[in-house]
Structure 1
């Protein structure tokens, strides 16, 4: 039963990790708004999430890693990678003379939208966990 719950929550885990990674990319764009020749980047969230849950692989995935135990008291550990989210360059609407392609209006909008979606994902996950707890208590 625990495996089924883990599989059920795995989607939310991957979605939240990708939203967090996208938030970092957008924050980097905003931080480099005045850096000459900086190229704004973004992540195709839908394609990357589809790939992470097994809907096709366009970006090569690193193999899963497991540690070799050298003592009986070591804790076995495994690292499962979803593969790096491919960062794409944003096409500028109006590039600046110094070669910077960050449009602060676009970046702020994308940042706010991603924040709202991240919070929504957390609320949905919270509701899902509460419903599972209720089902287990009955």
Structure 2
């Protein structure tokens, strides 16, 4: 949804990132007792790169300049933490860290929802003519 500026679509991408992170954290918590389960995380760099590759277009003025359209990133930025084991059964889920990440992600999500609500309130104010 692109209204007047790219702000709403940027917030929409941020909410998609937060939703994906929520799913990954929930999977990690659900598998905290599963033997040999390796914790997963969402790489912001990968998600950001996907957003940049999908939305930026530019013309190169020199042969040494970088291309904006690159190779596709990994599957939605989800990475598995390998070579880490916190438990005796080979599991790499740290429940304290996962719960902390869950709280941090919830705060981030709420901030993005508030920002989106503010944008819609501004648009509603403009439509009503400032009344």
Class of the TM-score when normalised by the shorter of the 2 chains: 0.7 to 0.9
Asked if residue 60 in structure 1 is aligned to residue 59 in structure 2, the reply is no
Task: Tell me the TM-score normalized by structure 1.
Answer: 0.71
Worse-matched range after superposition: 10-19 or 26-35: 10-19
Unaligned runs of 5+ in 1: 62-82
Query: In the TM superposition, what are the counterparts of 1:26-105 in structure 2 within 5 Å?
Result: 26-54=25-53, 60=72, 84-90=75-81, 95-105=86-96
The Cα offsets for residues 71-130 of structure 1, whole Å up to 9 and x where unpaired, read as xxxxxxxxxxxx841211236876211110000010000011001100110001101110
Report the Cα distance in structure 1 between the residues aligned to 2:109 and 2:45, rounded to whole angstroms. Answer: 14
- Check conservation: 1:59, 1:84, Cα contact below 8 A: no
The secondary structure found in structure 1 opposite 2:4 is helix
Aligned length: 116
Report the Cα distance in structure 1 between the residues aligned to 2:115 and 2:2, rounded to whole angstroms. Answer: 20
Question: Per-residue deviation at 1:14?
Answer: 1.2
CA RMSD of the aligned region, Å? 2.7
Q: Moved runs in structure 1, 4+ residues, more than 4 A?
A: 55-59, 91-94
The secondary structure found in structure 2 opposite 1:5 is coil
